[in-house]
Amino acid sequence: MTEQKLSDTSPVDLRGSAEPAALRGSAGPVAPGPGATAALWPLSPDQARLDPGGLLGQWQRRNAEDTLPHCVDNLHRAGNIGNLRAAAGESDAAFAGMWFADSDVHKTLEAAAWELGTSPGDGALRSFVEDTVALLARAQQADGYLNSYFTVVAPDERWRKPDWSHELYCAGHLFQAAVAAARTGVSPALVAVARRFADLLVERFGPDGVEEVCGHPEIETALAELYRLTGHRPYLDLARRFLDLRGRGLLGHGRFGPAYYQDHVPVREAREVTGHAVRQLYLLAGMVDVGVEAGDHVLLDAAERLWEDAVHRRTYVTGAHGSRHRDEAYGGPYELPADRAYAETCAAIASVHVNWRLLLATGRARYADEMERALYNAVAPAVSSDGRRFFYSNPLQLRTGHASSGEEEAARRLPWYSCACCPPNIARLMASLHGYLATAHDDGLQIHLYASGTVNAEVAGAAVQVDMRTEYPWQGRIELTVTAGTAVPWTLALRVPAWCDAYTVRIDGGPVMAPARDGYIRLTRVWAPGTTVVLDLDMPVRQVTAHPRVDAVRGCVALARGPLVYCLEQADLPPGTVLEDVRLDPAAPAVTAASAASDRGEGPADIPVMINIGGLVTQAGDSLYATGRRRERPGTPLTLTAVPYFLWGNRSEGPMRVWIPVATE
């Protein structure tokens, strides 16, 4: 069989492609409208299914069985639901939690809607949705305003502090919950609540209204999606107005300066990502959505330019964003300390959202690659194996004897937080995860994420279906069977990730030459039912090095295999060995080893694929400083065992590191 190398990865600009009539009205988490200048089109929620036996399907099942019920319970326990009851005049309890606590209710509602769209029989979850939607309707004021904090605690401050109030941020999450509820048919009533609020925003902030923006972007992408759902143009126009007003210093200087809010320069002129990482990424999502719907290529070009700055100079090897604890922000170029990484979980989720939108807008594989990296290595680590404990920040190193950030959440996952933005954000992403597998166009079907499951769509005027079977990301073999084809040719496009240098393709057992273009193999033919394609991606262990300007990890390597980044944990070292004294032998071969998998494939003692590589323990003496070059004395050689970073901290608490120092002598 001929092994193929990637050669042609030049970008293919597909913007301006005509929308396929067959997919009009299709609606997943993101759904470009009839006039959108998108390259690819998402599938509807019922057109993709994840097999619970595969890793992504396991994550989605765990989310449904553990994470989502946990979020619902904590909304009651922490007082978020009680706040809305107080806003509805049904309780005199004191307000509980952060002033933007409503947003966690809205995110959980969105997660519940996506989950009920695939598992309609969950009676408890459906009751939560129905009861909460009814409560929101009762808490909504006569003019459409809906925010429990400013209704109960600070009614005189309504709309007066846009820099910190999060009023529009909370409204955005309400709108996204309503979109999910409508697209899955779970609760059309939530759309009425959302539209009453959205109409109030149009009245107040529209063309001749108040010139104001929100300190925490989110409303822009939400309004664009609400426009896509309803076709009501003022929602899109308001989203664009909010983007156009940004960069005029309307939010003031604040504690961290206008760049913290991305309010220091007009978005179309911005050259660097700045400030609070989650806010920057949510703003990018809105830029792409509005750019696609309005045909604003200047806006799209600006979003791609900012993406390049973020990914090429300010993103961790795990795909995480945000290196500073002080303001939860991006650092300067190459400022990526491993032990002080903030790497907020919500920023990783926002990265998935941005990359998905850019993938739909352009068809470029680099966005699918980055979406995959963030999903496996920046989102997944935040959730414990039982689905009920979470990281807020995600350091790439935990030192012996203390948490890397001096904060409890850096050392262990916690069940909930006073600022609980991350758990319900995880829940809504995982509940809609099947929506990110594939896209379609008039000429075919494109597979972006590999997982056991089923994808179907209407292509070339007929229904097609492809079943996937794979152990990915543990193995590189992906078997696809066309179970419903057409009488005319269409193209099956399969992504070859940027980390893969060689692959093979077989159709019905016979090898085929299939060069990748812009990261995709494109196979065009009349697909008879039962035709099988096997894509086998080479998955050697890779030793990844950082740019020399990343001072924090100079002289270190990170181990990776397939899409997964690996790490060392104290749990795998001999007793008495200090993790900081361990060095990797650069000449030692790396080999993979497997352990028996649990039924979820990620139990505390069951890690499907580990990496073993030679190392040694060094002794540097006790003096803090030395004259001249310090020489470390080699100790006993040992075999280092690296585990997937997303599984760290499930077996026991203790030191961990992604970047491993390399022995120099």
Catalytic residues: 328, 421
Instruction: Look at strands 490-495 and 4-5 and give their pairing.
Output: unpaired
Using DSSP, state whether 182 is helix, strand or coil: helix
Strand partners, 495: 520
Torsion of CA 411, 415, 418, 419, to 10 degrees: 80
Instruction: Look at strands 397-398 and 541-544 and give their pairing.
Output: unpaired
Burial (CB < 10 A; 0-12, 13-18, 19+), residue 560, is: buried
Neighbours of 34 (CB within 10 A): 11
Torsion of CA 97, 101, 104, 106, to 10 degrees: 150
136: tokens are: 């929101």
Give the span between the Cα atoms of 187 and 194, in whole angstroms: 12
N residues, the chain: 665
Do 660 and 556 contact (CB within 8 A), yes or no?
Answer: yes
Instruction: Look at strands 490-495 and 444-447 and give their pairing.
Output: parallel
Q: Is the dihedral of CA 649, 352, 303, 447 positive or negative?
A: positive
Burial (CB < 10 A; 0-12, 13-18, 19+), residue 408, is: exposed
Order of all β-strands in the sheet with 516-517: 41-42, 438-441, 444-447, 490-495, 520-525, 516-517
Give the span between the Cα atoms of 382 and 566, in whole angstroms: 15
Torsion of CA 248, 252, 254, 259, to 10 degrees: 10
314: tokens are: 């300010």
Q: Determine the distance from the C-alpha atom of residue 35 to the mean position of all C-alpha atoms in its chain, rounded to a whole number.
A: 27
Strand partners, 48: 455
Burial (CB < 10 A; 0-12, 13-18, 19+), residue 356, is: buried
Q: Is the dihedral of CA 39, 26, 438, 286 positive or negative?
A: positive
Q: Which residues contact 510 (CB under 8 A, 6 or more apart)?
A: none
Burial (CB < 10 A; 0-12, 13-18, 19+), residue 96, is: middle
352: tokens are: 């998935």
Q: Is the dihedral of CA 321, 322, 328, 331 positive or negative?
A: negative
Amino acid letter for position 227: Y
Closest CA to 292 of 245, 240, 351, 247: 240
Using DSSP, state whether 641 is helix, strand or coil: strand
Do 216 and 21 contact (CB within 8 A), yes or no?
Answer: no
Angle (CA) 273-277-281 rounded to 5° is 75
Give the span between the Cα atoms of 320 and 395, in whole angstroms: 9
